[in-house]
Structure 1
Amino acid sequence: MSWSWPWSRKATPEAAEPRNLDGLIRWRLRYTGRVQGVGFRFTVRGLARECKVTGWVKNLDDGDVLIEAQGTPDQVSALTDAIKRESARERTWVRATLATREELAPQQEQDFRIVH
């Protein structure tokens, strides 16, 4: 009889195969403006998932929001365009301005999440 830890997880086929990072870009984006307390992180998460972008979004102590977005150049561009459109809508609390953009090395990721 074999015994194993009850919380041990076996690797799933998706987790066992590394994702091909060729052709992906990763940007660190810092947004300023009215971006905290207005649902901006949740909006970004929804937009990122629609654009098939992975990464994360989090509030910063200084009132800005930091995003790391990864995908094809078209996907990441679609996300930044969607954020710009959302900020320009007449009926939104969000008023986000892209302050900085920095290129990073792509990472192994599966989804887009909110980080606290």
Structure 2
Amino acid sequence: MQVTLMKGKIHRASVTEADLHHEGSIWIDRALLDAVGIIVNERVDIYNVETGARFATCVVEAPQGSGTISLNGAAARLAVPGDKVMIVAYACFDETEAKSFAPRIVRVDRENRSLAG
């Protein structure tokens, strides 16, 4: 049997941009992608803390150190700059793997920089 667990989460990131007319996706600062273990083109779920909106899209890399969290295309209708969001990636594991797996959680400051240093 396979189970789906949270693989990684960017906790309470601030949306920096929302562009309805840009190709759909979420652009995320490369430093955050590396810290949480999310890869380019991976599907992520996004939870808007301000509105309760929940949606999924794919990841595009933004420049490292930019602090970018940019929602594009249809996703831009579900958040505005300044909204706090959770960005979560999931993965499937067999039961043995699942029992010992620990997700990577990155908490960020107001500029979307990791609080872990």
Higher relative contact order (CA 8 A, sep 6+): 2
Report which of the two has the higher share of helix: 1
Task: Looking at secondary structure, tell me which structure has more strand per residue.
Answer: 2
Larger radius of gyration: 1
Q: Report if TM-score (shorter chain) is over 0.5.
A: no
